[in-house]
Chain A
Amino acid sequence: MKDFKKMNNTSDWVTLVKYELTASEAELRNKKEKTAEDFASLKATLGKFEAAPSAEETKYLNKAYADLCTKNNLSQEDFKLQGAHITIENDEIRGVMNLVTIEDNKFKRLLF
């Protein structure tokens, strides 16, 4: 099973990776007032939860995304993507695409 996400219209897909924070990483994460240096470290830590999908996976994900938009008569300019979340398990795809329509500012959820 593999999980992927894309969090706005122009961002790339990322593969989600299971990762347990170390004690020091968890401590940094829980620190209430962080410095710029802390944030830089945190950003690097968060990167451990993500990886780049393969070229083949990216192609497949982009196609699924484009097909869902086409099926719902949506073009990129019609909506503000809030999150596209896809799971591929046993060669089957499932997931959601959360968006806010530009025209009427409404939340919409489409299923992959």
Chain B
Amino acid sequence: MALKPLSGSSKIVVYNNEVDLQDRSSSKVTQGVSVNDILALGSGGGVDGSNSVYVTQQGTAAESGVLLLQAYQDAIAKIGAGSEPSTLIIGPGDYSIPTDWQLNQLVNVTSLTGQPDVNITNGNIVVGSGTNDAAHPITITGLNLQTTTLTVGSNLSSITFKNCIALGEGSFSGGSSISSRFEDCIGGYNSFGSGGNSTASGIFIRCKAGADPESLHEGAFGAIGNTSGYFEDCGGVETAGGSTDIEKLFGEGGVCNGVFYNCKAGNFSFGYQCFEIGADFYNCVGKLGCFGYQNYFDFTIGNFYNCKAEGPSFGSSMGNSGLLSNCISGSFGEIVDGGMAFSCYSSSGGFVVAGTGKTRLCVDNAGNIVNIG
């Protein structure tokens, strides 16, 4: 007979403490219990630790939501006397919370599996300053908000978010400076330090974001705002059409600083219409009008290494005074005082320099090597 995969109805054999496992007759004094029964033990059911609380879905989503908020209160009671964080472990399932969930204490919150399978509905999650303690950092893992919002207070730099999804507009935003650490998180429109001239000042690793469910608006990672943080392997979330070319990612309209590695975005991204760009970009890919397109009032002073865009990009309004190395674009802005373009390719134009700006080993659209300045 072929073995079936394990499921909730699979049995776990439990031995009494006095049983000698070498004694083959011990099966007579064992009891079997199903995986579902173990999970249903829930909060207070005997699986809580001295500094942890476990809660699982029980009854309806609404009933589970109430239990979840109660379990958070139970976890608060287990914070150590020296402020050592406690941990709330949440089983997979649906939790419809009756009110907004205020996370404002030193409690780690994590899904049992580490995956985003704790589905929070109805209420929002508000992460406040009480969660931030450099000596006792906490992590929030595996929360999944498909329609509601997870907002983060200003400068909560000791908190890490892992494998969280929050698609409500303005998620992972809220404070003036979003300086937490985010790993493998997914946000919606205006997420990750966007809106209201706020700044994405945190660490962002493998995060995706940028579109509302109907794709009527796009923008994230300092959209309608600024950047000063570290961004690695970040980009647009996949839309219904399968594209990840989300517009207006990574700084828009303000100051675009920070460091970007291997990030990818759609049109009008990477410092679009910013008035100051001092970031360093490595191996980043954009579409039309990126990397300081329509920057204004100041030159683009950032550095660009192995980056690619289309159409007019790379300081195309006011020029570049930083370094462009191995970059490709439809056309480049003027290379101005202090600027240098090295080994770049312009697919639909040439290069223009001013002042002490230089190009070396660049190639224009006619295939000519351009060394000017």
Contacts and interface: CB of A to CB of B under 8 A. Distances in A.
Contacts, number: 117
B294 A33 contact: yes
A96 B258 CA distance: 13
B177 interface: yes
Interface stretch (B96-104, B138-146, B275-283, B334-342): B275-283
B83 to A, nearest CB: 14
A1 interface: yes
Contacts of A8: 257, 276, 278
Report which residue of B155, B175, B253, B258 has the largest number of chain A beta carbons within 10 angstroms of its beta carbon. Answer: B155
A86 to B, nearest CB: 7
Contacts of A76: none
Contacts of A46: 197, 253-254
A94 B132 CA distance: 9
Given A96-B155, A107-B259, A16 B176 contact: yes
Contact of A82 (B134, B253, B254, B259): B259
Prevailing SS type, chain B contact patch? loop
Given A95-B157, A96-B157, A98-B228, A3 B257 contact: no
A71 interface: no
A5 B177 contact: yes
B257 A49 contact: no
A94 B276 CA distance: 25
Interface string A2-35: 0101011000000010111000000001001110
Given A3-B155, A8-B276, A85 B228 contact: yes
Contact residue range for chain A? 35 or more
A68 interface: no
B228 A87 contact: no
A50 B254 CA distance: 12
A76 to B, nearest CB: 15
Interface in A79-112: 80, 82-83, 85-87, 89, 94-96, 98, 100, 105, 107, 109, 111
A103 B270 CA distance: 25
A32 B273 CA distance: 9
B203 interface: yes
Contacts of B273: 34, 39, 42
Nearest to A92: B129
B359 interface: no
B154 interface: yes
Contact of A7 (B228, B253, B280, B294): B228
Nearest to A32: B268
Contact of B196 (A19, A34, A87, A94): A19
Interface string B247-274: 0000001110111000000001000010
B196 A95 contact: no
Given A83-B228, A111-B134, A42 B278 contact: no
Given A39-B296, A96-B157, A3 B175 contact: yes
A85 B253 contact: no
Contact of A3 (B132, B176, B226): B176
A86 B255 CA distance: 17
Interface string B197-209: 1010111000000
B301 to A, nearest CB: 9
A20 B230 CA distance: 27
Contacts of A96: 155, 157, 177, 179, 201-202
9 closest cross-chain pairs (CB), A and B: A83-B228, A85-B177, A49-B197, A3-B176, A82-B257, A87-B155, A107-B259, A16-B176, A39-B296
Interface of B: 129, 132, 134, 154-158, 175-177, 179, 196-197, 199, 201-203, 224, 226, 228-230, 253-255, 257-259, 268, 273, 275-276, 278-280, 294, 296-297
29 contacts: A1-B129, A3-B154, A3-B177, A7-B226, A7-B278, A8-B276, A19-B197, A32-B268, A34-B294, A36-B296, A39-B297, A42-B273, A43-B275, A82-B228, A85-B199, A86-B155, A94-B155, A95-B155, A95-B157, A96-B155, A96-B179, A96-B202, A98-B201, A98-B229, A98-B257, A100-B259, A109-B157, A109-B203, A111-B134
